[in-house]
Amino acid sequence: MRGRFNQLSGQTRFVVCRVFVHLSGREVAPLLGVLNQAGREAVDSKGDMPVLGEQLVRVCETLLEYDTFWQSAANEGDVVWDEGEAGDYINELFTDSAGRYGSSADFGPNSSENFAIPMTQNVVVMITAAFEGEAPELEANLADIHALRTGLKALIDLNYRGTLRAIQIHFSPAQVGDELTSDQLIESFPELIPL
């Protein structure tokens, strides 16, 4: 009822969502190179939305290419009618994502320029986005291969529609040489549902 009232009164609808994708296999380690490069570009841009959007598209397209390695997924989010509330929720999800096992990468000037591929067999990518309007593909349960594929494509589409207001990408492990073991995966990402 509140949503209908807000819609009728002309308030802007904001959606904040976070998508988790867990990939597994020896072949997933090169994905960390794409994620680290996207992270460096995002940091270098100092939060420029067009650059962040380009990196989001790059990460989503890469995840779609790696779909044979998807093992589990999850998503969460909410609809809010206040930009400040959306910002608070984004910050809450950012803090939570950054606190997950090994998801805080160093993209500063002292970080390694020569990327060495770690031999981790598990990678979890966490994409958090806030956007104006609706995207039913992202407002549904994505713990299904078809739904996840559709949701990632919807994120790409949101970038091209220009409705994204915030983008954050975290991944675990993030440090070169770190490994995300099965035990750490269960402990740090209990919401994941097998695909």
Residue scoring higher pLDDT (179 or 137): 137
Sign of the Cα torsion 108, 112, 57, 68 reads negative
- Confidence at residue 112, expressed as pLDDT on a 0 to 100 scale: 43
> Helices in the chain by DSSP H: which ranges?
2-8, 31-44, 49-65, 83-98, 145-161, 182-188
Give percent of the chain with pLDDT exceeding 90: 67
Give the pLDDT score at 5: 43
Helix intervals (H) in 1-82: 2-8, 31-44, 49-65
Better-scored residue on pLDDT, 10 or 118:
10
Cβ-Cβ contacts under 8 Å for 105 (sequence gap 6 or more) = 36, 39, 111, 171, 174, 175
Among candidate residues 153, 147, 170, 174, the one with its CA nearest the CA of residue 74: 147
Domain edges within the chain: 2-108+118-194
pLDDT score at 104: 63
pLDDT tens-place string over residues 126-155: 999 999 999 999 999 999 999 999 999 999
Q: What is the pTM of this model?
A: 0.87
Of the candidates 60, 79, 77, the one whose C-alpha atom is nearest the C-alpha of residue 21 is 60
